[in-house]
Structure 1
Amino acid sequence: MTAKISVNSQAKLTEAITSLTAMFQAKRYVVVSLRPGKDRTLDQNALWFSMYQRISQMTQIGDVDEARKYCKLHVGVQILLNEDEDFRASWHRTMRHLSYEEKLDLMGGNALFGPDGFPVTRLFNRAQGIAYTDRIAAEFSSKGVVFTDLLGDLAA
């Protein structure tokens, strides 16, 4: 049994402690991982998909999957390299030696990392997700891609 609980209230804290206690009593061994911050949201996922669609429609980058792979490699990986020491060490140990084409290919679905490809955006916290959105918008707006209709709600 695996559980993930976001604690953002006293009631959720109580729920987390109760679940941890029950799991410990049942199994006598429990692995716990904690980190501060909020998870990225489903709204961010939907926004990113819309941005990838727009990029694929308004540039020569390719289809939606190609736009997603490009953004993950060029924008997302850079965010994690700058902000996550563990990610940076792992990236340099396992990915740095690969060619650009190999890295780009691994960002999409593959046998090694599954249908979502190399983990980048799923590792983001909420702030990193916001930075990812902002950086994609900045890079591609300068190339003529229009996101104002997609990002309007976020700016308000």
Structure 2
Amino acid sequence: MFSLICKKPEDINKAFNAVDGELFRIIQSGKAGRLSITEVSTEDADEQDRSLAQNRLIYKIYQRIGRALYGGDELLARRECKLKCGCKILYRDRQEFAETFDLVIRPLPQETRLKAMDLIEVSSIMKVKQSTEYIKLMMQVYTEQGVYFMDLEGIEDYANYKEAQK
């Protein structure tokens, strides 16, 4: 999943071209794609959403954790990473997220919290710097559990995404 911000009319063509390429890739893989348009504040629009490179790396990390710890269960790895690492970052940075988390997720038993991660956007709403922190935190937490990440394609740049410097 990816998202684009359009703040001026000339951004629209760039967005359509990017969406066209991504939708083509998804459809070619035999899946369906979903498009949605959401109005955002100008403050949110000024912060960059996570990059496609970050998105790819996050999913490679989920896959690696799933294979290393959960017998190939990538879904469990994804849920756990979102709950343990991603929610922690968003809870700190977004008051609305924190309030919703406290009201809806925190009271649930752990197993139900994990399943609830299928319904909650976490990494897809992160900005570049948050995504960089998410990648670092996942690697730290799961390296301590014996998962090796340094051979993943794209990992060598994880801390220095050019987008994070903007």
TM-score (norm 1): 0.72
Preserved contact between residue 55 and residue 61 of structure 1 (Cα < 8 Å): no
Q: How far apart are the structure 1 equivalents of 2:40 and 2:158?
A: 34
- How far is 1:32 from its partner? 5.5
Match of 1:144 in 2: 146
Mark the CA change 1:107 to 1:155 in structure 2 (over 3 Å): closer, same or farther: closer
Give the aligned length. Answer: 128
Range 80-89 or range 32-41, more displaced: 32-41
Query: Which structure 1 residue ranges, 4+ long, deviate > 6 Å from structure 2?
Result: none
Mark the CA change 1:52 to 1:40 in structure 2 (over 3 Å): closer, same or farther: same
Q: How far apart are the structure 2 equivalents of 1:82 and 1:32?
A: 20
Preserved contact between residue 79 and residue 115 of structure 2 (Cα < 8 Å): yes
RMSD of equivalent CA atoms: 2.5
Structure 2, unaligned runs of 5 or more: 12-38, 161-166
Preserved contact between residue 63 and residue 72 of structure 2 (Cα < 8 Å): no
Match of 2:48 among 30, 38, 47: 38
Q: How far apart are the structure 2 equivalents of 1:143 and 1:48?
A: 18
The SS at the match of 1:148 is: coil
Match of 1:126 in 2: 128
Preserved contact between residue 83 and residue 117 of structure 2 (Cα < 8 Å): yes
Q: How far apart are the structure 2 equivalents of 1:96 and 1:144?
A: 28
Deviations, residues 81-107 of structure 1 (Å, cap 9, x unaligned): 111111111211222221111110111
The SS at the match of 1:143 is: coil
Preserved contact between residue 132 and residue 158 of structure 2 (Cα < 8 Å): no
1:78 lines up with 2:88 in the alignment: yes
Q: How far apart are the structure 2 equivalents of 1:155 and 1:136?
A: 12
Q: How far apart are the structure 1 equivalents of 2:109 and 2:148?
A: 31
Preserved contact between residue 136 and residue 159 of structure 2 (Cα < 8 Å): no
Structure 1, unaligned runs of 5 or more: 8-12, 17-30, 109-116
Mark the CA change 1:14 to 1:76 in structure 2 (over 3 Å): closer, same or farther: same
Preserved contact between residue 40 and residue 129 of structure 1 (Cα < 8 Å): yes
TM-score (norm 2): 0.68
Q: Following superposition of structure 1 onto structure 2, how do residues 13-52 of structure 1 map, counting pairs within 5 Å?
A: 13=8, 15=10, 33-34=41-42, 35=44, 36-52=46-62
